[in-house]
Structure 1
């Protein structure tokens, strides 16, 4: 993977991580107002962004397994950190949306 491809992959991780976290936050906000249709749509949007990020990670791992080593930079670490935080935030958002649904049903 050349330097330009590496940078594009890293920026994709950062962008998709940010998009996923943002959509998950919007899901919580929608659930807070009782708009569970929007909340579920936003959770699916977050899942789509995380799936795209996961595909980029898989490409990096496949390259590494095939002997094509990727330079580990601070930017790469930052991108991976974005993804891990987005995954955690998405998981928690799903739980919070479910909790708001339970509260609304009572």
Structure 2
């Protein structure tokens, strides 16, 4: 949301910083998820809790929203500046 707000204010350098920060965090979260999936695939089963399902939901929502935010930032970049 901060990236979109920055783009709306035509501060594209801040928008890009916010997207980059989000993507770095998502990479870390995705690695943690991949580690858990690898453990499961190797036979080290875990109890699936509501918390695990909730965290998966947040990860996927965050990935989707970041992708959408990048598109919205690009739309703002292409719009002419208001006078």
- TM-score interval (norm. to shorter): over 0.9
What CA distance in whole angstroms lies between the structure 2 residues aligned with 1:44 and 1:104? 24
Matches within 5 A, 1:1-106: 25-104=1-80
TM-score by length of 1: 0.74
Which structure has more helix as a fraction of its residues?
A: 1
Root mean square deviation, CA, Å: 1.4
How far has the Cα of 1:70 moved from its partner? 1.4
How far has the Cα of 1:104 moved from its partner? 3.6
Q: Which runs of 5+ in 1 are unaligned?
A: 1-24
CA contact (8 A) 1:28 1:97 kept: yes
What CA distance in whole angstroms lies between the structure 2 residues aligned with 1:63 and 1:104? 50
What CA distance in whole angstroms lies between the structure 2 residues aligned with 1:96 and 1:34? 12
Q: Which runs of 5+ in 2 are unaligned?
A: none
What CA distance in whole angstroms lies between the structure 1 residues aligned with 2:80 and 2:7? 9
* Aligned residue pair count: 82
Structure 1 outlier segments of 4+, above 4 Å: none
What CA distance in whole angstroms lies between the structure 2 residues aligned with 1:50 and 1:32? 23
How far has the Cα of 1:29 moved from its partner? 0.5
